[in-house]
């Protein structure tokens, strides 16, 4: 069975993530490095487990979470596709069993469709990846915390305003919940929706694919 441990040790994955972090730091983007990837991987595996998927699917969700952004160093626009192609080059081979080949293709499909722009939720692993990835909104993602940058960059300002972020499942109510606490002295709640509305709609579609409702709570105000 394909494992997260195997993936993390692969030199192609290691260096792709390193190059991506360097490139996006140069561009001034929020964190897409090990912190983000490990958090998304952990949340993806936990979500898969909590909705009742088996160990194989939990591993695939964790792998997709860890590898989803590694194509960014080749191009920011279209990085889901380049990331999926890199994953295939690193792991597809004639020595793989038929089940491992199917698993690799499923992870590729999830990576290729994790962005909210013109993509669709097409499998369970992809739906889980969307939810885990988009749930990482927090000031820890902001690299440039200077007042000047926060004033000018709405993405950094909104991420920096989030001082608490929790991601959980209520299986009884069939809800996948993202709970945020925003410091409204940094930015207003409306600015969150100005840049993240499409992502939240994508999360709703992903949750529905899994048979759940997506619930967003901001400062104890529930939106569903």
Contact residues for 159 (Cβ-Cβ < 8 A; gap 6+): 30, 137, 138, 139, 141, 142
Whichever domain contains 70, its CATH number is 1.10.3210
The residue segments making up the domain with residue 41 are 4-223
Q: Which two tokens stand for residue 152?
A: 């000018």
CB 48 within 8 A of CB 57: yes
pLDDT per residue as tens digits for the range 57-114? 999 999 999 999 999 999 888 999 999 999 999 999 878 899 999 999 999 999 999 9
Q: Is a pLDDT exceeding 70 seen at residue 47?
A: yes
In this prediction, residue 65 carries a pLDDT of: 98
Q: Which two tokens stand for residue 145?
A: 């915390």
Q: Which residue has the tokens 């000018």?
A: 152
In this prediction, residue 118 carries a pLDDT of: 67
Q: What's the predicted TM-score (pTM) here? A: 0.94
Residue by residue, DSSP assigns 152-195 as H-HHHHHHHHEEEEEEEEETTTTEEEEEEEE-TTT--HHHHHHH
Domain count, the chain: 1
Q: What percent of the chain has pLDDT over 70?
A: 100
């Amino acid at each position: 069975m394909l494992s997260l441990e195997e993936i993390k040790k692969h030199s192609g994955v290691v260096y792709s993530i390193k190059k991506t972090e360097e490139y996006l730091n140069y561009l001034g983007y929020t964190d897409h490095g090990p912190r983000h990837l490990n958090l998304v991987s952990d949340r993806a595996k936990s979500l898969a487990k909590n909705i009742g998927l088996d160990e194989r699917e939990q591993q695939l969700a964790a792998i997709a979470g860890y590898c989803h952004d590694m194509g960014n160093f080749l191009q920011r626009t279209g990085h889901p596709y380049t990331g999926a192609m890199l994953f295939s080059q690193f792991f597809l081979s004639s020595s793989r069993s038929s089940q491992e080949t199917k698993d690799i293709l499923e992870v590729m499909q999830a990576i290729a469709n994790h962005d909210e722009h013109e993509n669709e939720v097409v499998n369970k692993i992809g739906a889980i990846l969307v939810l885990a990835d988009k749930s990482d909104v927090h000031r820890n993602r902001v690299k440039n915390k200077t007042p000047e940058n926060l004033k000018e960059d709405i993405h950094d300002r909104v991420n920096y305003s989030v001082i608490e972020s929790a991601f959980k499942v209520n299986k009884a109510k069939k809800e996948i919940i993202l709970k945020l606490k925003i410091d409204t002295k940094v930015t207003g709640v409306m600015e969150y929706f100005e840049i993240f509305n499409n992502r939240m709609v994508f999360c709703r579609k992903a949750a529905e694919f899994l048979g759940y409702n997506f619930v967003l709570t901001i400062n104890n105000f529930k939106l569903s």
